[in-house]
Structures are given as C-alpha cells and as structure tokens.
Amino acid sequence: MKNIYPFLTQGLKAVFQAGINKIFSVYGGSEGLLTYSHLSNFFQLCLAPVNTFYNQSLLHYYGQNDQNINKYNGFVLSVATLTSYVIALIAILLRSVLFSSFNGSLILIIIPLSILVFPLYTLLTVLETKLIFDKNFKLQFYGYLFNTIVTGLIVLGLATYNWFYGLVLFFGVRVVVLLIVFFRGKSIISLSFKKHFTVFFKSVRPYIGISLLVVLLSQSILLIERNIVVKYTSLLDSGAWQAAYTGGFYIQLIALTLYNSFYIPEISRKNDDGLRRYIFESFYKMLILLIILGLVFSTFSYYLHKLLFSSEIEFRSEVYTIFITGFVFRALSQIFTLYFLRMKIWKSYLFVLFFVSGTYIFGLLYLISVSFSVKDIALLFLAACVFQFILAIGLYFYRIVFQRNV
C-alpha cells in the first residue's frame, strides 16, 4: 500500500491545480486565469535552483538509496535560495519582455511576495525530501490532502471578495499550510558541508546544471510567449489560448505522475542492458496510454473545458486538439530524455533542449513579423513537440546502434 501513496499524492496535486484554475477563471475570467498562470510560471522560474535540489535528491535516493544523507547542507540551500532571488531580480529587470502586457501592480506584488515565499519554499523542499528519504509517503499524502482542503477554502473565500487578493495570498498560504503538516521540530539542516553533503553533491553535480538549465529555458520561454499572446491578441483570444494550453497540459501532467511515481525509480536502479529493455517496454506502454488519453481528451475537450474553467473563457475545439496532440508527443519524448540523464549522455540531452528551444523562439519571432493568431501559436507548439520527439527517439536509437555517447 505504501507504493501507491506517491501516485496518489501526484494525483492530488493535479486535482488541486485544477481547482485553483477553476477558482481564478470563475472569479477573474480570462484576466484572472492568465495572471495566475503567469505568476505560477514566474515562481517556477525563480525556484528552479531549489526544485533542482529536490529532484536530484530524489534521483540520488532512488539510484543509490544512501541512508547517510539524513541532513541537508545549509550552505547549499542558502546558495539555492539566493540564486532564486537573483533570478527574480533579473526577471523584474526584464519586465518589458516578461510582464509588459499585464497589470503594472503585478510587479509591485511580486517583490515582497518573493522575499517571503522563497525561504519558506526552501524549507518545505527540505522537509518533503526528508519525508521521502524516510519513506513516509503517507504523511506526504495527508499533507497535500490537508493543503487541498484548507488552502482551497481560504483562496476560494478570498477570491469571492477579490480574485487578485486570493491570487496574491495563494502562494504564501499554500507553503505555510504544508509546513505546518510536515514540520516535526527535528533539525534536518546542517552547516557542516563535508560531514553531510560531499558525497551527494559530487553525485548530482552534473545533473544540477542541466536540470536548472531546462527549467530556466522552458519557463522563460513560456513567460515570454504568454506576454506576447496577451499583447498581440484580444483578452478573449488570450483566455482561450491559456485554457487550451492548460487543458492539454494535463496529458503531460498524467505522464509526469507516472514517470515520477513508477518509471524514474526503476530507471534509476537499472543498468545499461536492463535499462534498454525497460525503456522499450515503457515506451510502448506509454504510447498506447497517451494515444488513448489524447483521443479521450480531444473527443471530450468541450466537457473538459467546462469542468476546468468558467463559461467566460471561450472554448476553441481546434486549438485544444492541437495542444493535446503536442503534449502527447512531448510526453513520449520524455522517456528517452530520462534515459539520456540516467546514462549521462549530456550532448544528446542538450542538443534536443537547445534545438527545440531555438526553433520555438525563432517561430515566435516569425509569427510576430508575419501574422499572429491563437491557432498559429498552437501549431508552432505542436511543431516544436514533434521535433522534440523525433530528435529524442532518433538520438536514442543512434545510441543503441552505435553504442556511444553523442
């Protein structure tokens, strides 16, 4: 039964996310949905160093099951938090590119909110990782269940009065609620670098830089893209674009839940020969599942839209279908990029990352100069996801055939 709790936790996170989207789309309309999504991406961008620490802690835990890592180095955590502040400062300085299409008061809110949230989020990351190291998946699940109920009710109450107040307080309330559940009064942060962290740091150092780069690139591009969409289309079109993107994203969210709960632990434990067989088997299973999910999501996209968003957000069937198809290709490519990370095939991983990112950026610039519509940008997203899949599977088979890192 213990093994099911990580999966349930990921599922609960998805349900909570859907509920928050619904609240801000109902009480804020297109503006509320877009602002919430933009602020969420901003925090994901800034907290990339802390999230990277969390993810690589889990990778190390699943791969080596090193029980000596029972404390977390305060120095590394401090650097991660300070780096988050630096990224936030750079993002604010680049507000003409990232925030110019949004209400000017958003920047004024971001500064104090960042100062408050970043250290608390770092502490939450440490506490949650410790729960996983101790295999206390049950407490992790109940923590997120408590968060879904309490934070959801608080945000709902605030949003009925003023959706912007609910949005601002959401990020702080969520972290505080989870900290209350996860905190056990035991010191788990050490200032002794060599004693508690040297082995871990040496093991994950290559992954940290690459994982950080992935988050920074993806979130920066999404922030720029949304800012452009809001600037060059109407609020109605922007809301329809965001709704279709979010609806399609649930395909990837389901895939990530499966990867995090079942596939990553197995990939981390297996060696080269066994890993190849496992990748093939996993790909075929995910291919069948994602095709079925894609067909279901596309067929019932209207009802999905009504479930996730308010009636004020316009439904665009063709845009939904395009985004859903794109996320299917992206989710399929991730099984191969997980292999690249596990086998430390950095060049292949980075080539896929930079090629897809570059293609998308040039595509955005082209659309701005020629013609710009919600459907055009959805088609650009689909093209980038197809390129990502072709490159990932192609480089994977090249690795298998020629037995070398590329």
DSSP H helical segments within 259-315, as ranges? 264-269, 272-299, 301-308
Of 52-56, 142-146, 334-338, 359-363, the range with the lowest mean pLDDT is: 52-56
Q: Sketch the domain layout of the chain as residue ranges.
A: 1-204, 233-406
Of 25-39, 95-109, 171-185, 327-341, the range with the lowest mean pLDDT is: 95-109
Return the pLDDT at 185.
55
Segment holding 73, helix H or strand E = strand 72-73
Residue 367 near residue 358, CB atoms below 8 Å: no
Q: Name the pLDDT band for 74 (thresholds 50, 70, 90).
A: low
A 10 A CB-CB count for 178 gives 23
- The length of the chain, given as a count of residues: 406
Q: What number is the average pLDDT over the span 54-59?
A: 60
pLDDT for 217 beyond 80: yes
pLDDT for 240 beyond 90: yes
Between 82 and 378, residue with greater pLDDT: 378
Measured CA to CA, the distance from residue 128 to residue 142 in angstroms comes to 12
Interacting residues of 348 by C-beta distance below 8 A, sequence separation 6+: 340, 395, 396, 399, 405, 406
Average pLDDT, the chain: 82
Q: Name the pLDDT band for 312 (thresholds 50, 70, 90).
A: confident
What is the signed CA dihedral for 175, 176, 179, 184, rounded to 10 degrees?
A: 170
Between 356 and 136, residue with greater pLDDT: 356
Interacting residues of 333 by C-beta distance below 8 A, sequence separation 6+: 352, 385, 388, 389, 391, 392, 393
A 10 A CB-CB count for 62 gives 15
Residue 319 near residue 374, CB atoms below 8 Å: yes
Interacting residues of 156 by C-beta distance below 8 A, sequence separation 6+: 23, 166
Return the pLDDT at 45.
85
Residue 366 near residue 383, CB atoms below 8 Å: no
